[in-house]
Amino acid sequence: MCGKTKTTPTKNVSNSTVDLTGDSSDESSKTAATDAFTPSFACLDGASQLILVLVGRPGSGKSLFANAFQNLPRKWTVVNQDILKTRGKCEKLTRAALKTNQSVVVDRTNIDQTQRLHWITIANERSHCKVVVLDFGQDMSKEQLLQNIQTREGHETLQGGRQAKMIVTMMTNKYRRPSYQEGIDMIEMMSSNLTERKAFAEKIKEWMGNQNVRGGSSSSGSSGKTSSSSFSSSSSSEKSQRTISAM
């Protein structure tokens, strides 16, 4: 079963702003959080490539998490719709990266089943590519998200103000919780704990690196795999959805 082997209950977050820089945590709390976080990726066994589908409203820290996968040529490609502007361009870059045997981080809101299906479909075009959905910001209030949007600098599309409030409200209403019945291989509910987010990023990079060293499965070719539409309820019941702290 996937997930962390030591479970730390997710604490309710107050209405104060969540620090997305990670600078406010003292070393003892960082060590405790890292020690409490030991993820298991057993349900990804056999994968030679991954698509990490980031889910969450603006201001929840998706792009900060994705930055941990930058500057890893020939290993990971970060696909950011704020930069590329259209989903079509994101899909094109995702397919191109997979064809060169890289794994992909999809940095966009992906707030409902229809949005996530695009990436599940692309993964299903590959023989040994699995989908990990990371759901950000469910422990964060709209006020926290808006404050984070207002204080971030140089964002490509969304700044603070009335527009941000409207978009965050709209996406809150449209959000649908990820489900294994969509054809997802692993789901993690990511809290606002930055130390545990960093730990998760490092662990999954390490795990993927080990898979590549061992050669993963026999091939990462494009012969395809079972369509998400045929994902059985019995197999999805074997994968329990976990709540973890994350970046």
pLDDT tops 60 at residue 54: yes
Q: State yes or no: pLDDT of 244 exceeds 80.
A: no
Q: How far apart are CA 149 and CA 133, in angstroms?
A: 23
Closest CA to 20 of 68, 71, 60, 69: 60
pLDDT tens column, 155-164: 555 655 788 8
pLDDT for residue 208 is more than 90: yes
Query: Is the sign of the CA dihedral 162, 167, 168, 172 positive or negative?
Result: positive
State pTM to two decimals.
0.77
Model pLDDT, residue 155: 55
Instruction: Look at residue 216 and tell me whether its pLDDT is greater than 70.
Output: no
Tokens encoding 42 = 């057993």
Q: Are strands 242-244 and 186-190 parallel, antiparallel or unpaired?
A: parallel
pLDDT at residue number 163: 85
Q: Does residue 219 carry a pLDDT above 70?
A: no
Q: What is the pLDDT of residue 191?
A: 86
Distance CA 128, CA 32 (A): 35
Closest by alpha carbon to 204, among 190, 225, 220?
A: 190
Confidence at residue 243, expressed as pLDDT on a 0 to 100 scale? 36
